[in-house]
C-alpha cells in the first residue's frame, strides 16, 4: 500500500496551558506524528531531549506500556542507571513509515495511528497497529474509538432492552443503543484515582486538531472519566491512554513539563513526538 510522504501545507500551531495540574497541549494544521524508540543505553529523558532537537519536534510524550524480566527489574531497583534498550519489552507494535520499529502483538488492547500525512487522518482501533500506517503505536487503552466513548461500563440510550449487559461485548440488538463501551484497562486507570499520572492523546479529524492531556504522577489531578470528557469536548474521533502512572512524560518546546519517575527514566524506551 502506498503511503503519503510528509508534506507541510502550512505552519503547525502548537499551544500549551496548565490548568490545576493538568497540562493541555494542542496542535493544529499539518501535524505529523513521529515514533521514537530508544536503541542505546541512556536515560529516557536524555533520549527524548536529543531526538526532539534532532527531528525538530515541538511536543513529545511517553509511549507504550513496558514489561521487564525479573533480572532487569532487579537491576533497576538495586544498581540504578539506564538499562540497555533490549532489556525493556515493548507491549504493542510501534510503526513508522510502514516499518515495524519495535514491540509485540498484544491481544485485547488498542492502537493509535496516523494513517495519512497529507490528509492528516488519525484513527484508533482494537487489535494490533496497522502495518501500513505512516506512524502508529499499539498496546494502549481506549478512550474514544470511531466516535464511541469507552469507560468502566456499558452505557445506553433510553429504550434499550432490559437485558443489556453492563460490561463486556454487546449483541446486535443492544449495539444501536450503546453510547459508551466498557473496557477493563480504562476501568483500571479509573480505579487508580485522581493522583495517578496520565498521558492521553486524541484527534479531531474534521478540525485537524490534536489534543494531548498530561498529568504528573502523585499530584491531585482528574479522573479517567474526566479525561474522556475533555476529548469528547474536543470533538475527538479517536483518543487513547498511553502508559500512565509515573511513566507520564511531557516535553514541550524544549522543556520537560512532566518528568517520569526515577526508575521509569532508566528503562522506558518508546516516545511519541509531534511536529
The answer to the question of residue 137 being in a domain is yes
The answer to the question of residue 5 being in a domain is no
The answer to the question of residue 1 being in a domain is no
The answer to the question of residue 103 being in a domain is yes
Print the domain residue range for 114.
13-274
The answer to the question of residue 101 being in a domain is yes
Residue 188 CB burial class (10 angstroms; 0-12, 13-18, ≥19): middle
Judged by DSSP in three states, 172 sits in coil
The answer to the question of residue 8 being in a domain is no
d(CA 38, CA 182): 33
Distance from chain centroid for Cα 158: 32
Q: How many domains would you assign to the chain?
A: 1
The full length of the chain comes to 275
The answer to the question of residue 6 being in a domain is no
DSSP 5: P
The answer to the question of residue 63 being in a domain is yes
User: Tens-of-pLDDT digits for all 275 residues of the chain?
Assistant: 334 334 444 589 999 999 999 999 999 988 999 999 999 999 999 999 999 999 999 999 999 999 999 999 999 989 889 999 999 999 999 999 999 999 998 778 999 999 877 667 899 999 988 888 999 999 999 999 999 999 999 999 998 998 999 999 999 999 999 999 999 999 999 999 999 999 999 999 999 999 999 999 999 999 999 999 999 999 999 999 999 999 999 999 999 999 999 999 999 999 999 99
Please provide residue 159's backbone torsions phi and psi, each rounded to the nearest 5 degrees. Answer: 100, 0
Residue 136 CB neighbour total at 10 angstroms:
31
Amino acid at each position: 500500500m502506498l503511503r503519503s510522504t510528509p508534506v507541510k501545507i502550512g505552519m503547525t500551531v502548537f499551544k500549551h496551558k496548565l490548568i490545576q495540574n493538568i497540562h493541555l497541549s494542542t496542535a493544529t494544521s499539518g501535524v505529523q506524528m513521529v515514533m521514537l524508540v530508544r536503541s542505546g543505553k541512556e536515560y529516557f529523558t536524555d533520549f527524548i531531549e536529543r531526538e526532539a532537537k534532532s527531528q525538530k519536534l515541538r511536543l513529545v510524550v511517553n509511549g507504550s506500556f513496558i514489561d521487564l524480566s525479573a533480572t532487569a527489574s532487579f537491576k533497576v531497583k538495586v544498581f540504578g542507571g539506564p538499562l540497555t534498550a533490549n532489556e525493556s519489552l515493548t507491549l504493542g507494535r510501534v510503526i513508522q513509515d510502514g516499518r515495524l520499529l519495535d514491540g509485540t502483538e498484544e491481544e485485547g488492547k488498542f492502537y493509535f495511528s496516523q494513517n495519512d500525512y497529507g490528509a492528516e487522518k488519525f484513527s484508533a482501533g482494537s487489535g494490533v497497529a496497522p502495518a501500513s500506517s505512516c506512524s502508529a503505536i499499539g498496546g494502549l487503552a481506549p478512550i474514544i474509538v470511531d466516535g464511541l466513548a469507552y469507560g468502566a461500563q456499558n452505557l445506553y440510550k433510553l429504550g434499550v432492552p432490559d437485558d443489556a449487559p453492563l460490561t463486556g461485548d454487546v449483541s446486535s440488538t443492544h449495539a444501536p443503543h450503546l453510547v459508551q463501551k466498557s473496557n477493563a484497562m480504562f476501568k483500571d486507570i479509573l480505579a487508580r484515582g485522581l493522583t495517578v499520572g496520565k498521558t492521553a492523546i486524541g484527534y479531531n479529524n474534521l478540525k485537524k486538531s490534536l489534543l494531548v492531556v498530561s498529568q504528573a504522577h502523585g499530584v491531585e489531578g482528574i479522573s479517567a472519566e474526566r479525561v474522556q470528557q475533555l476529548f469528547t469536548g474536543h470533538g475527538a474521533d479517536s483518543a487513547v491512554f498511553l502508559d500512565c502512572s509515573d511513566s507520564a512524560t511531557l516535553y514541550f518546546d524544549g522543556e520537560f513539563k512532566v518528568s517520569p519517575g526515577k526508575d521509569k527514566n532508566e528503562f522506558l524506551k518508546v516516545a511519541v513526538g509531534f511536529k
